[in-house]
Amino acid sequence: MDSKDKIPNELLDPLKDIGFTNYESKAYITLVDKGILSAPEIAKKSGLPKSRIYDILKILLNKRMIEEFPGTPRKFKARNPTFVIDDLIEKKETHFKNIKSNATNLKTRLNTLINNTEKTYISNESILWTVNGRRGFHEKFAEMGARATKEVKVITPYFSRNTILERSINSAKSRNVKFTGITTINKENKDRVRYYIECFNNIYKFTGEIPLTVIIIDDKECMFRMNYQLNGQLNYVGVHSTNTGLIKAFTQYWDGLMKDSTNIDSFKP
């Protein structure tokens, strides 16, 4: 790397990912490439501000990324990149383990709180609660699935597939919760339907159009999906309720679709 060359992003970006700032990355790479240098030489060859170079080098010294020869003038050299990078990764991994441990404890404490507060707003006369977007809808499904004890009924022409849904379904099935679905089959969803045939207890193919995605849990709570356009993009909102009248209406919707549906054991595209 010539002193006039700009330091390539393929060297800078990975260092930033493991904890270097932009200035620290440039100073360290310059020392790796050029060898032993004084602070003014590092600033000149890296393009870093002379007013900042000693502060940057002090940080690198404290992080044990470089070494110093305390003569006149002071000289600096890079530590071996393998040791530097391995040390940083080890620190990141330790930090991440601590975050995960703290997060586990936090979830336990917060879930205890929300399990108590849910009793105050989930009732037979519950009003409507909304969640926005695809991920919000799927996370709400997972939350509902965690409360399921008997059966989850799903009416949808989409059958999305992702980690959130798969984890929720597998967890509920481990508690012997039954999953039943009603869907249509088309070119867009056929592969996803094939997957859900394997993980649902039963899936039924409806002969007509399914206008509304609905989820019913144990005949005690429900959620439906409303589509809308925003800035030319398709978006949707999930509407959740434990209102007995709404659940009864959706159960009748389910029964009506089931009359014109046939069980799918398998299908060929």
Q: Let me know if residue 113 belongs to a domain.
A: no
More confident residue, 231 or 209: 209
Does one domain contain both 152 and 244?
A: yes
Does one domain contain both 45 and 142?
A: no
Query: Does the pLDDT at position 4 exceed 60?
Result: no
pLDDT at residue 108, rounded to an integer: 84
Does one domain contain both 142 and 29?
A: no
Q: Let me know if residue 99 belongs to a domain.
A: no
pLDDT at residue 193, rounded to an integer: 84
Q: How many independent structural domains does the chain possess?
A: 2
Token pair 């699935």: residue? 145
pLDDT at residue 267, rounded to an integer: 57
Does one domain contain both 196 and 75?
A: no
Instruction: Write out the residue range of the structural domain in which residue 41 sits.
Output: 9-79
Query: Does the pLDDT at position 2 exceed 50?
Result: no
Q: Let me know if residue 88 belongs to a domain.
A: no
Does one domain contain both 142 and 35?
A: no
User: 134-140 — which CB contacts under 8 Å span 24+ positions?
Assistant: 134/160, 134/236, 135/164, 136/238, 137/223, 137/225, 137/236, 137/237, 137/238, 138/162, 138/164, 138/165, 139/164, 140/223, 140/238, 140/240
pLDDT at residue 3, rounded to an integer: 46
Query: Does the pLDDT at position 143 exceed 80?
Result: yes
Does one domain contain both 73 and 132?
A: no
Confidence band, pLDDT 50/70/90 cuts, at residue 196: confident
Q: Let me know if residue 154 belongs to a domain.
A: yes
Q: Considering the entire predicted model, what is its pTM?
A: 0.61
Query: Does the pLDDT at position 191 exceed 90?
Result: no
Does one domain contain both 166 and 239?
A: yes
pLDDT at residue 194, rounded to an integer: 84
The CATH number of whichever domain residue 25 belongs to comes to 1.10.10.10
Continuous H helices in 155-205? 163-174, 190-199
Helix (H, G, I), strand (E, B) or coil at 48: coil
Write the CA distances from 52 to 7, 12, 29, 215, 268, integer angstroms: 18, 18, 16, 59, 66
Rounded average pLDDT over 108-128: 66
- What are the tens digits of pLDDT across the range 5-15? 578 888 888 88
Domain boundary among 79, 106, 138: 79
The CATH number of whichever domain residue 183 belongs to comes to 3.30.870.10
C-beta separation of 185 from 267 below 8 A: yes
pLDDT at residue 144, rounded to an integer: 93
CA distance 178 to 259: 20
Domain boundary among 52, 79, 106: 79
- What are the tens digits of pLDDT across the range 52-76? 999 999 999 998 899 998 888 899 9
More confident residue, 186 or 96: 96
pLDDT at residue 269, rounded to an integer: 46
Query: Does the pLDDT at position 42 exceed 60?
Result: yes
Q: Let me know if residue 17 belongs to a domain.
A: yes
